[in-house]
């Protein structure tokens, strides 16, 4: 892409202004500085310190010296071929090895062990099967989502089976629906207890439940918590959100929760809202946990010793990222059992992943996560700040694109993945 002289001049001015203002940032920390670097559009980010596990030889020497290649306890291809797919006549060495980082004990990286078809299977599951009741998603707060899920509605529109003249084309706003319910109660009984001020919370029984995804974090949790008996109110729906078409709404999908449902306002689990965890996703996570048993740094400073027999996937989050989305620095610490590893799978466009230390004051390491890559946080790294500041445009693998020889069913998924 050619950049005009005017654009170059503008970029220089923006860089000068940003450098001049950097010292005045109220939230300035090494982690925040790294996030700002990778979120920048003009000037473009500095990618020189990013770890690229798919091309380690081209990494800077100081970066290469931190990377330690290790052998997995089991070959993912031999023992779990049905989960990761079969490479006909091709040996996939990614299924036998992993990487650790000297400065980050407890972090384990497995380069894409999936076949393209295995990845497509999981993507379809995340969009079509998991993004519906009983699972919850971010859209549930403001919209009365259909029982069959927002993806099926999107499919009907995509195939021309539904258009804006049909009643079910637009998904109703939850705030408007609650208003109608309130009016009905006013008509029937003026003393009804449902009459509430706009600032009061609404009982969760009035909320529809549905769900959605990209990146999967499987976490082991327990059914006891210091606040497990406290009532957790759902966020109130807004009356100002717009009514959107199914295509616009599917692009607004940001997360879906699996298993134990997560209460985002308090960052705790709803222990009274537990749905069946998908068996295939549990099998994938379990396979990874078994494979990393005994993996660690060669100097013995860290060796992963979590008993895989104790592992059970009980909660998970599917994160859906569009090209301009990001996930700011955070720590996953809602689980009582912090000894269990946190397993994440990435599919679609590549991204920059940052992982630091126990505070934002620790400068983070940056690395590329490409489609199919698996990252595991266990041991000391389990409590580290991490985030995704940038989705990288133009990095979608070619096998996700639709062509005439492709199964026609994939076309709608290919269109969605082109920006995901």
Give the pLDDT confidence of 196-216 residue by residue, as tens digits: 222 222 222 222 222 222 233
149: alpha, beta or left? (left if phi > 0; alpha if psi -120 to 50):
left
- Confidence at 82, pLDDT banded by 50, 70, 90: confident
Give the residue, 190 or 13, on which the prediction is more confident: 13
**Would you state the pLDDT for residue 1?**
54
Give every CB contact of residue 16 below 8 A, 6+ residues apart in sequence.
Answer: none
> Annotation-wise, does 263 bind a ligand?
no
**Would you state the pLDDT for residue 21?**
59
Structure tokens at 46: 């500095």
Structure tokens at 194: 């449902």
Q: How far is CA 271 from CA 48, 222, 225, 265, in A?
A: 44, 9, 9, 15
Is the pTM higher than 0.85? The answer reads no
> Annotation-wise, does 154 bind a ligand?
no
pLDDT digits (tens, 9 = 90+) for 13-70: 777 666 655 555 667 899 999 999 999 998 899 999 999 999 999 999 999 999 999 9
Q: By the 8 A CB rule, do 365 and 375 touch? A: no
**Would you state the pLDDT for residue 20?**
56
pLDDT digits (tens, 9 = 90+) for 283-339: 999 999 999 999 988 888 889 999 999 999 999 999 999 999 999 999 998 887 888
Give the residue, 266 or 133, on which the prediction is more confident: 133
Give every CB contact of residue 392 below 8 A, 6+ residues apart in sequence.
Answer: 349, 350, 351, 352, 368
Give the bridge partners for 143, in sequence order. 173
Distance CA 304, CA 196 (A): 53
pLDDT digits (tens, 9 = 90+) for 338-395: 889 999 999 999 999 999 999 999 999 999 999 999 999 999 999 999 999 999 999 9
Q: How far is CA 92 from CA 51, 290, 295, 311, in A?
A: 21, 19, 19, 26
Q: By the 8 A CB rule, do 212 and 203 touch? A: no
> Annotation-wise, does 142 bind a ligand?
no
Give every CB contact of residue 302 below 8 A, 6+ residues apart in sequence.
Answer: 100, 105, 106, 296, 379, 380
- Confidence at 189, pLDDT banded by 50, 70, 90: very low
Q: Identify the DSSP state of 237.
A: P
Give the residue, 6 or 212, on which the prediction is more confident: 6
- Answer whether residue 412 shows pLDDT above 50: yes
Q: C-alpha angle with apex 265: 198 to 175, nearest 5 degrees?
A: 30
């Amino acid at each position: 892409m050619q950049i005009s002289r005017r654009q170059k001049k503008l970029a220089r001015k923006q860089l000068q202004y940003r450098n001049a203002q950097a010292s005045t940032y109220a939230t300035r920390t090494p982690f925040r500085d790294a996030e700002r670097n990778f979120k920048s559009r003009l000037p473009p980010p500095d990618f020189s310190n990013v770890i690229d596990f798919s091309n380690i030889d081209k990494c800077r020497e100081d970066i290469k010296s931190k990377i330690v290649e290790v052998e997995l306890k089991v070959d993912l291809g031999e023992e779990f071929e049905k989960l990761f797919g079969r490479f006909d006549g091709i040996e996939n060495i990614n299924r036998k090895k992993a990487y650790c980082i000297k400065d980050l004990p407890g972090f384990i990286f497995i380069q894409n062990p999936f076949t393209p078809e295995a990845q497509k299977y999981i993507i379809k599951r995340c969009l079509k099967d998991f993004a519906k009741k009983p699972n919850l998603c971010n859209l549930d707060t403001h919209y009365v989502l259909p029982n069959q899920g927002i993806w099926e509605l999107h499919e009907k529109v995509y195939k021309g089976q539904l258009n804006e003249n049909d009643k079910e084309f637009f998904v109703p706003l939850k705030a408007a629906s609650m208003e109608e319910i309130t009016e009905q109660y006013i008509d029937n009984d003026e003393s009804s207890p449902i009459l509430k001020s706009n600032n009061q919370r609404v009982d969760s029984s009035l909320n529809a439940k549905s769900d959605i995804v990209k990146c999967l974090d499987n976490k082991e949790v327990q059914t006891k918590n210091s606040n497990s008996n406290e009532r957790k109110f759902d966020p109130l729906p807004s009356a100002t959100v717009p009514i959107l078409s199914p295509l616009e709404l599917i692009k607004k999908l940001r997360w879906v929760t699996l298993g134990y449902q997560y209460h985002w306002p308090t960052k705790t689990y709803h222990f009274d809202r537990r749905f069946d965890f998908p068996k295939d996703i549990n099998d994938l996570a379990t396979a990874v946990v078994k494979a990393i048993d005994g993996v660690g740094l060669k100097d013995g400073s860290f060796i992963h010793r979590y008993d895989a027999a104790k592992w059970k996937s009980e909660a998970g989050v599917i994160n859906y990222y569009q090209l301009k989305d990001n996930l700011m620095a955070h720590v996953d610490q809602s689980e009582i059992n912090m000894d269990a590893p946190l397993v994440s799978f990435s599919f679609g466009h590549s991204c920059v992943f940052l992982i630091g230390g126990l505070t934002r004051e620790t400068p983070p390491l940056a690395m590329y996560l490409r489609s199919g890559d698996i990252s595991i946080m266990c041991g000391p790294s389990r409590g580290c700040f991490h985030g995704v500041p940038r989705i990288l445009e133009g990095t979608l693998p070619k096998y996700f694109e639709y062509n005439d020889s492709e199964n026609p069913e994939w076309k709608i998924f290919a269109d969605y993945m082109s920006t995901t």
